[in-house]
């Protein structure tokens, strides 16, 4: 892929993406700390930033490389990659849902902390699965 006047190979792009994912994971933990301190508005703003940056990373780094790895030989790694992509899609869906509930466009019966905790755990799981895929593909 050519970025500006610099041509970057797929491994370099993947490495940049992994660094971005690590930064986003730290942002996620910081947002969790904010909500524990009772600052829900800042928490929501940081999560929105993290999800938007995540979506940008998906479109810039992950989607362009996906066709080269999709079910090439039915290996276990292929299944892990597909699971990782499904997990990411579920997370985006949860984020949209939580934002709709928080914005009061739709109702959630009671407290929706449980769904946010599930999203938190899934994001961490997706990060570690992505790191595993990275190491399997590039090392």
CA distance 12 to 126: 20
- Banded pLDDT at 28 (limits 50, 70, 90): very high
Query: For 2, phi and psi rounded to 5 degrees?
Result: -105, 120
pLDDT, tens digit, 9 for 90 and up, residues 36-67: 999 988 998 999 899 899 999 988 888 777 66
For the chain, which residues make up each domain, given as ranges?
A: 2-138
Q: DSSP assignment of 9-48, as one string?
A: -HHHHHHHHHHHHHHHHHHHHHHHHHHHTT-HHHHHHHHH
| pLDDT of residue 71 exceeding 60 | no
CA distance 47 to 68: 31
pLDDT, tens digit, 9 for 90 and up, residues 116-130: 889 999 999 999 999
């Amino acid at each position: 892929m050519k970025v500006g006047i610099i041509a970057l190979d797929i491994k370099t792009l993947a490495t940049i993406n992994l660094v971005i994912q690590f930064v986003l994971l730290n942002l996620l933990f910081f947002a969790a700390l904010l909500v524990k301190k009772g600052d829900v508005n800042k928490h929501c703003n940081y999560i929105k930033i993290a999800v938007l940056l995540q979506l940008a990373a998906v479109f810039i780094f992950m989607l362009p490389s996906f066709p080269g790895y999709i079910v090439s030989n039915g290996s276990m790694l292929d299944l892990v990659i597909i699971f990782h992509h499904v997990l990411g899609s579920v997370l985006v869906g949860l984020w949209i849902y939580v934002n709709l509930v928080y914005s009061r466009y739709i109702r959630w019966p009671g407290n929706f902390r449980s769904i946010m905790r599930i999203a938190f755990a899934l994001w961490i799981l997706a990060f570690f699965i992505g790191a595993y895929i990275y190491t399997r593909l590039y090392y």
